[in-house]
Every structure is written in C-alpha cells, then in structure tokens.
C-alpha cells in the first residue's frame, strides 16, 4: 500500500470512549457517480426526512440544489466544455453509419451530406460529430458528486453547540440529539461547508425548529448495517467503512486515475493536517472543490477562538477601565 497514506486520529478515543470501534466514514468517488440520486432517496426513506421543495432549478439535473435541514445527501451536476480523460472530442465520423455497422435496417438511411428535411433534432442514425454540426462540436463532460456532511475531526458545529445536543459518537461521527437541541441555530453559520440547517417545515414535523443533518445513519451503524446511501449506491461511488482503510483505498484510486490520464483527479478531506483535521467523509473530485460548491480551504472557526477570547477580554478591560476613568477623571459634575 502507499506510504503517503496517513492514519487518522480517532476523535472518539480522545474523548474518552472506552474501546471505541474504528472510526467510520464515507469515501465518495465522484468519477463513477452516475447521478441516479438513489442515495438521496434512500436517505430520505430511512431517516424519514420530509420533502423540501419540488421545483425545477434549471441547474442541469440538480433540483435538490444543496444540503440542508431536509436534504442530507445531495447530488451535484456540473456540465463543462471539457473532455474527460480518454475522450476525444475532435474525432470525426464522416461516412460512418452506426445502424449499418450494427447490421442495417430494411430502409437504408440517406448517405451523409444528402440534403434532407428540416432537422427537428430527432435522434439520428449517424454518430455525433459526423453531421453538419461537426465544426461546432465542443468537448463536454458531466460531473456528478453526491455531497454529504463531512463529519469533521474538528467539528465547528459540535464546538459551538451551547446545549450539548450535538455530540461525537463512538464511531467518530457527529450527530444531533433531537430531544436536546433547542434550535438556537449557532451550528448553522459555524459549519464551514454549509451543511447543517434549522428545519423550517413542513408544519407538524417533529424536528421543525431543530438543527438537522446527516447522522451517518447512527442507528444503522449501531446494528452493524452500512448507511442507507452507501447501500443504495449502484456503482459504489459511495463507499462506507473504517476511515483508515477508506483513506488507503482513496489514495490507490486517485493514483490509478492520474496514471490513466485524468490528471485533474484529486482527493478532498483526506488530509489530517487540513483546516478541519481531515473529514470523516472524503471525496475524489475531478475539478476544484468550489466547482462542486465545496470550500477550497475550509477551516474550523474555533481554531481562532483563543485569539478571539483574548481580544474580547482586552475590549472588556478597556470598557471597564474607561468606566472607572470617566468617574475618576474629574470630580466636577
């Protein structure tokens, strides 16, 4: 295996869990995601997450639009004028008749170049790029990525929660306790990935007013089952397992892709030295993180908290000193 793979720290062990199981996580390999959204559906079904809008966004096939209180898995779709490695968009196919190659039809198609009727955009029997559009053909690739809560090693939502509703499980994941959360909303702006959100509806739902996000199927993990999204994924784009093993697997996969010519492949969230101490859910991406709506260099906000407290104490001392000075300064009036 590769020497570069780093062992992850286990936050559950550091918190004093006695003999915790290995840290669990996801490795989402976007290079084999087919955008079927089975993960979104399985998540909703298992976790009884309510419907949160049925609208057409115009954002490719993405009508879910982003993670939120009632979307714990979200498949992003990005259409780009670029080629995937191995694709050759400048290849032309003049004179190639796909149907003839496949055995032919009883009515032969007209030879290419023959003036025909108005093009209604109906499917043709010639290959793309072989007809009149060959000069305007552009490279194209369609990126798909199933996004989820990152279950950070240093989780800002967990740090700032004032009630203890958010907690670290024995699996190293981060989960909200619905019976403790009072809906203060502090975790929402604290998350550097914009994952957790206060549920606003539908009215009557038990969790309205509470912070909601992926639990990495805590209940299923307790019963030795894999999370619903990973089980439903038909291509194993979503892989679940022990985080250390997933990191090794991810490293092998990215090296394989780069060797195959997909030089833009990179891992995201795998590095224990990044701003959140590495994530429990990591990704193999084919472009910059922000293309997928992910922050390029996320940092847990509480990393700067000691400095912030020092400045706040300085400010409080300034006000206190000022308050004394205005009375001590002059005794007139």
Partner 1 sequence: MTATSEPTPQAVGGRRRRRGRGELSMVPEATFTSYYGKPVVKPSPWTADIPAYLFLGGLAGGSSLLGAGADLSGRPALRRAARLTALGALGGSFFALVHDLGRPARFHHMLRVAKVSSPMSVGTWILTGYGPMAGLAAASEVLAGRLPWTRGIGRAAGVVAALLGPAVASYTAVLLSDTATPTWHAARRDLPLVFVGSAAAAAGGMALVLAPTEETGPARRLAIGGAALDLAASRTMESSMGVTAEPLHSGRAGRLLTAAKALTVTGGVLAAIGRRRRDVSALAGVSLLAGSVCTRFGLFEAGQQSARDPRYTVVPQRERLERQASAQPTG
15/100 with CB nearer partner 1:
15
Q: Where are the beta strands (DSSP E) in the chain?
A: 24-29, 73-80, 141-148, 166-168, 174-176, 197-198, 211-212, 238-242, 266-268, 281-285
The tokens 């198609």 sit on which residue? 109
Across the strands, what pairs with 203? none
Applying CB under 8 A, among 43, 130, 191, 228 the residue interacting with partner 1 is: 191
41/258 with CB nearer partner 1:
258
**Which residues between 205 and 234 bind partner 1 (CB under 8 A)?**
208-211
Cβ atoms of 265 and 285 closer than 8 Å = yes
C-alpha triplet 95, 96, 102: angle, nearest 5°: 145
CB of 313 to partner 1, least distance (A): 8
The tokens 């995937």 sit on which residue? 84
Reduced to 3 states, what is the DSSP secondary structure of residue 146? strand
CB of 117 to partner 1, least distance (A): 31
**Which residues between 83 and 142 bind partner 1 (CB under 8 A)?**
none
Copy the structure tokens of residue 88: 């050759």
CB of 11 to partner 1, least distance (A): 14
- 67: nearest Cα among 39, 90, 30, 45: 39
CB of 251 to partner 1, least distance (A): 16
**Which residues between 20 and 79 bind partner 1 (CB under 8 A)?**
57, 59, 62, 65-66, 68, 76, 78-79
Name the segment binding partner 1 (CB under 8 A); options: 18-26, 28-36, 97-105, 191-199. 191-199
* DSSP string for residues in 238-281: EEEEEHHHHHHHHHHHHHHHHHTT-TT-EEES--TTSTTS-BSE
Applying CB under 8 A, among 35, 194, 241, 272 the residue interacting with partner 1 is: 194
Q: For partner 1, what does the binding mask look like between residues 239 and 278, x meaning CB under 8 A?
A: ------------------------xx-x------------
CB of 153 to partner 1, least distance (A): 14
283 binds partner 1 (CB under 8 A): no
**Which residues between 301 and 330 bind partner 1 (CB under 8 A)?**
301-302, 304-305, 307-309, 311-320, 322-327, 329-330
Copy the structure tokens of residue 75: 């498949």
- Give the list of residues 6+ apart from residue 51 with CB closer than 8 angstroms, or none: 44, 70, 202
Applying CB under 8 A, among 39, 42, 75, 188 the residue interacting with partner 1 is: 188
**Which residues between 163 and 182 bind partner 1 (CB under 8 A)?**
163-165, 180-182
Applying CB under 8 A, among 26, 27, 72, 193 the residue interacting with partner 1 is: 193
Size of the site for partner 1 (CB under 8 A): 83
Copy the structure tokens of residue 74: 């979200």
- 211: nearest Cα among 230, 194, 186: 186
The tokens 């997450």 sit on which residue? 49
252/321 with CB nearer partner 1:
321
Applying CB under 8 A, among 161, 217, 232, 233 the residue interacting with partner 1 is: 161
- Give the list of residues 6+ apart from residue 112 with CB closer than 8 angstroms, or none: 94, 95, 97, 126, 130, 131
């Amino acid at each position: 295996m590769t020497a570069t793979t780093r062992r992850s720290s286990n936050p559950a062990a550091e918190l004093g869990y006695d003999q915790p199981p290995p840290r669990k996580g996801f490795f989402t390999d976007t290079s084999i995601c087919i955008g079927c959204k089975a993960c979104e559906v399985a998540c909703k079904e298992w976790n009884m997450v309510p419907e949160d809008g049925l609208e057409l966004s115009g954002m490719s096939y993405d009508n879910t639009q982003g993670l939120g209180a009632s979307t714990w898995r979200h498949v992003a779709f990005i259409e780009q004028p670029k080629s995937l490695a191995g694709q050759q968009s400048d290849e032309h196919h003049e004179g190639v008749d796909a149907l003839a190659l496949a055995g032919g039809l009883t009515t032969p198609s007209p030879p290419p170049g023959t003036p025909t009727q108005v093009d209604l955009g109906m499917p043709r029997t010639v290959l793309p790029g072989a007809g009149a559009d060959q000069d305007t053909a552009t490279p194209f690739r369609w990126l798909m990525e199933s996004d989820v809560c990152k279950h950070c090693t240093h989780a800002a939502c967990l740090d700032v929660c004032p009630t203890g509703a958010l907690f670290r499980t024995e699996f190293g994941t981060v989960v909200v306790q619905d019976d403790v959360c009072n809906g203060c909303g502090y975790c929402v702006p604290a998350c550097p990935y914009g994952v957790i959100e206060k549920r606003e509806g539908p009215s009557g739902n038990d969790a309205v007013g509470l912070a909601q996000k992926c639990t990495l199927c805590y209940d299923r993990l307790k019963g030795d089952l894999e999370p619903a999204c990973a089980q439903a994924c038909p291509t194993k784009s979503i892989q679940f397992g022990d985080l250390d093993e997933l990191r090794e697997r991810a490293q092998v996969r990215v090296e394989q892709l780069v060797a195959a010519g997909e030089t833009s492949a990179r891992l995201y969230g795998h590095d224990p030295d990044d701003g959140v101490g590495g994530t429990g859910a990591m990704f193999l991406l084919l472009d910059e993180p922000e293309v997928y709506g992910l922050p390029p260099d996320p940092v847990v906000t509480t990393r700067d908290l000691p400095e912030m407290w020092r400045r706040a104490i300085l400010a409080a001392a300034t006000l206190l000193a000022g308050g004394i000075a205005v009375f001590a300064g002059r005794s007139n009036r």
